Amino acid sequence: MPKSLVIYYSLEGNTALIAKAVAETLQADLLELQPVKNIPNKGFFKFFWGGKQVMMKEQPELQPFSLKPAEYDLIVLGTPVWASSYVPAFRTFLAQYPLKDKQVGLFCCYAGNEGKTIEALKTELSGNIILGNIGFLNPAKTPEASAKTAKEWAKSLLENAGKK
């Protein structure tokens, strides 16, 4: 089994739900990206500040962590969809820890649609092998079914990792 890391950001718990299910299946370490100053998680300002950060390509400062992404063979990135893209915390992370020659899985969680989230991440992660990607519509509304789907997807990543 490849040494695996699941990296995620979750404002409301949807992405965390999926990240934990994937990590359990992969026997992976789990890294939650946490900005030093987070946006509000309720009300209009959640959408305003989150959308502004995405549109302005902001890179919020992240809380420090001890895991070293370069030491992992398989890395799964999980993000909510904000303004049709991935969250600014990942912009910061990928600028500070550029991933190269890794096997990567990508997932996103959304309430409306995926937008260009996965395609934007794939572009940002050129130079890596993308083993698979998946989107989850409101996973917290159907947590058991969403976790089951996440675990099945994680198994497919392991199968693909052996082939590439």
pLDDT one-digit tens code per residue, 68-90: 999 999 999 999 987 788 988 99
Mean pLDDT across 99-116: 92
Q: Is 160 strand, coil or helix?
A: helix
pTM of the full predicted structure? 0.88
Spatial CB neighbours of 58, under 8 Å, sequence gap ≥ 6: 52, 88, 91
Radius of gyration of the chain (CA): 15
Return the number of other C-beta atoms located less than 10 Å from residue 28's C-beta: 23
Greater pLDDT, 61 or 14: 14
Question: Closest Cα partner for 87 from 4, 19, 28?
Answer: 19
Distance CA 107, CA 149 (A): 12
Task: Order across the sheet with 129-137: list the strands.
Answer: 29-32, 4-8, 74-80, 103-110, 129-137
Q: Which domains does the chain have, with CATH numbers?
A: 4-163 (3.40.50.360)
Structure confidence at residue 49 (pLDDT): 52
Q: How confident is the model at residue 36 (pLDDT cuts 50, 70, 90)?
A: confident
Is the CB of residue 99 less than 8 Å from the CB of residue 75?
yes
